[in-house]
Amino acid sequence: MTQRRLHGVEFDAKSFARGNCLNKWRVKSLDSILATAEKKSLTRSLGAFQLTMLGIGGIIGTGIFVLTAEAAQLAGPGMLISFVLSALVCGLAALCYAELAAMVPVSGSAYTYSYATFGEILAWIVGWALVLEYAVAASAVAVGWSGYMVGVLDNFAGIKLPAELVTGPYAGGIINLPAVVIALAVTWLLVLGTKESATVNSVLVTVKVAALAAFIFLAVPAATADKFEPFLPLGATGAIGAASIIFFAFVGFDAVSTAAEETKNPQRNIPIGLIASLAICTVFYMLVGAGVIGSYGAQPVFGPNGEALQPGSPELVAQCKTFAEATLPVVCSNEALAHVLRAIGHPGIGNVLGLAAGFALPSVVLM
């Protein structure tokens, strides 16, 4: 058995390694977590309104501005059912977050909850899974921002960027340069130490909500019943598949629980912030979806032989190129909401909506 000396003390290397391994499964008690938070606690300044704004700011992003088109390709008008299914799943998760955040009102969210229940090693895995989730989400938002900014440059300034520089290799391009630029720009701001206050976040949330409200105000009154038929062109499986995509549009509500340590009366305000932000966003999403479907139509695009095409597939990209700009289906647009407004006779407001998306979406990347 190998014996070693460390600072003059002999110890068994194998026993040390075995004990160190077992320590990886140690669970940190709630009392210890709360005591540590008490020593290094952040200022508790956030109320229910600020938390709701934080939740809405984290939720409303590329999902509703961009993924509406992808959901329509799978479910058609039935994507309204997909919104409900996704909201129900997120609602159940939000109730769990609310309960845990009320019990453990400290920063760390799912990492801290896992540490207190399953142990250090699983908490470590959960922590890195969250990092991966936010990295993928930030990348997707950057791509969504690119689509809107390309449309804004085209319609406002008449600048057409080469297709090879605004699409990835999967769509026949080389690189999505605007997405790379905004990702690097936000990274640079974070390296400088930029901090986004609750007040600035509330302003950006107001911009996003105002843009969606303007869309609803113009598109919903223009809706006609015939645009909702067939309601489920690809059957119930299409609506369920679209729900898995739309679920991404709700990602971000857990940002409320990460602010538990900065919240006044977290046992009351955290649940309010989580549920209120989800409820408000669900209503907005349903109205936006109804406006897209009823005013312009959201039927999926089929292949040359009538086959169903997957969102984002090269086959769908090729099929979309056969349509003229004036008749371009919503599922083929990189800026679905702005495209719908331009098509129903509001090109100026459509351009402004694209500009609002371009202004607000980087805040989601930053968050």
Residue 348 has pLDDT above 70, yes or no: yes
In a domain, 191, yes or no: yes
Residue 198 has pLDDT above 60, yes or no: no
- Report DSSP letters for 90-116, one per residue: HHHHHHHHHHHHHHS-STTTHHHHHHH
Give the residue ranges of DSSP H helices in 153-176.
Answer: none
Q: Each residue of 47-68: pLDDT tens digit?
A: 788 888 878 877 776 667 767 8
Using alpha carbons only, how large is the chain's radius of gyration in Å? 24
Q: Count up the domains in the chain and report the number.
A: 1
Cα 143 to Cα 239: distance, rounded to the nearest angstrom: 24
In a domain, 298, yes or no: yes
In a domain, 188, yes or no: yes
Q: Between these two residues, 195 and 87, which has the higher pLDDT value?
A: 87
**What is the predicted pLDDT for the residue at 9?**
47
Task: Check: CB of residue 53 under 8 Å from CB of residue 247.
Answer: no
Highest mean pLDDT among 114-123, 164-173, 288-297: 288-297
In a domain, 21, yes or no: no
Task: Check: CB of residue 297 under 8 Å from CB of residue 223.
Answer: no
What mean pLDDT is predicted for residues 275-291? 88
In a domain, 207, yes or no: yes
Pairing of strands 3-6, 9-12: antiparallel
In a domain, 9, yes or no: no
**What is the predicted pLDDT for the residue at 61?**
66
- pTM for the structure as a whole: 0.73
Give the SS3 label for residue 288.
helix
The CATH number of residue 214's host domain is: 1.20.1740.10
Q: Which domain holds residue 122?
A: 60-366
**What is the predicted pLDDT for the residue at 6?**
44
In a domain, 44, yes or no: no
In a domain, 54, yes or no: no
